[in-house]
Amino acid sequence: MINLQNVSFSYNNEKVLSNISLHIDKGEFTAIIGSNGAGKSTLCRIMNGLLKPSSGTVTVNGMDTRTTKSSILARHIGFLFQNPDRQICKNTVGEEIRFSLDIAFTDKSMIEKRLFETLSLFDFDADSNPFHLSRGERQQVALASIIAAEPEILILDEPTTGLDYVECMKIMSIIKKLNDKGITVIMVCHDMEIVLDFAQRILVLAEGRLIADGETREIFKMEEILRQASLLPPQIARLAARFGFDDVFYVDEMTDIVLKRIKNRRKRTG
């Protein structure tokens, strides 16, 4: 699907990404983590062809981003920016979604079908004015109009920043649903609990270098790597680490191991 080979990128002589190689397969759910300024957003823009690599090659479904127009790549990759207000430009939610559909499809009945499906997936009122909605709801409108066009790959740059827990979970559950249907998801996220709960694979960026790439649980065990990237594992994993419990990430897992220890102690003392 997406393939990066020795990709470097500089903004006016300032090197922001150095020598990144990676491959993302169909259906994966990948999180990109790293501190502010590590190059996460730049990497996302490189992947969808908004930025062209200074050296190295990026291919999406076999197309080289350097020689393919952005508007063509957009048919394959949906990209949700952090700020929904840069995307929404129509006066009703229905029109906003239709705007994307008109670009993606020519078949009238297909457009009507997707419009209906998308509105009901998000439970939207087609006539509501997006500018009267809250930030979290506008983020949902932006996401809706992107996935309406049925991209095979979804790139999300901090989709949950500035949202409350309920809004966050609504967006994440929709993304999860799409991923279950086989859509490839790549997501930048600062919330390690969300990364733990949803992503299968993690890319760790630090100062423009890809310092780790692996399965979620494996990455969260690499304290040294995370420290280099100024990150901390999820809360329960941090707690477990203080007791030397390995491979414990969730409340249930921690509960089990603590109860087992209590029982062992009783056996010994009693």
Ligand X SMILES: Nc1ncnc2c1ncn2[C@@H]1O[C@H](COP(=O)(O)OP(=O)(O)O)[C@@H](O)[C@H]1O
> Which residues bind to ligand X, rule: CB under 6 A?
11, 16, 34, 36-42
* Measured CA angle at 173 (ends 170, 175), to 5 deg: 110
- Given 3-state DSSP classes, what are the helix, strand and coil percentages for the chain, each rounded to the nearest 5? 45, 25, 35
Binding of residue 209 to other proteins (CB under 8 A)? no
Q: Round to whole Å and give the CA distance between 6 and 213.
A: 15
Interacting partner of 178 out of Mg ion, other proteins, ligand X, none (Cβ under 5 to 8 A depending on kind): none
Which of 176, 156, 191, 152 has its CA nearest to residue 44? Answer: 156
Interacting partner of 231 out of other proteins, Mg ion, ligand X, none (Cβ under 5 to 8 A depending on kind): other proteins
Q: Smaller CB distance to Mg ion: residue 70 or 134?
A: 134
Q: Which two tokens stand for residue 19?
A: 């020598």
Write down the H helix ranges in 35-134. 40-47, 70-73, 93-104, 108-122
**Residues 50-79, interacting with other proteins (CB under 8 A):** 50, 69-71, 74-75, 77-79
User: Are 177 and 154 a contacting pair, CB within 8 Å?
Assistant: no
For residue 101, the Cα-to-chain-centroid distance in whole angstroms is 22
Amino acid at the residue 116: F
Q: Round to whole Å and give the CA distance between 76 and 193.
A: 29
Binding of residue 41 to Mg ion (CB under 5 A)? yes
Q: Smaller CB distance to Mg ion: residue 40 or 114?
A: 40
User: Are 218 and 201 a contacting pair, CB within 8 Å?
Assistant: no
Size of residue set near other proteins by CB under 8 A? 62
Interacting partner of 94 out of ligand X, other proteins, Mg ion, none (Cβ under 5 to 8 A depending on kind): none
Interacting partner of 224 out of Mg ion, other proteins, ligand X, none (Cβ under 5 to 8 A depending on kind): none
Interface positions with Mg ion (CB under 5 A)? 41
The footprint of other proteins (CB under 8 A) covers 34-37, 45, 48, 50, 69-71, 74-75, 77-79, 81, 83, 85-90, 100, 103-104, 131, 134-136, 145-146, 149, 161-167, 190, 192-193, 230-232, 234-236, 238-239, 242-243, 251-252, 254-255, 258-259, 261-262, 265
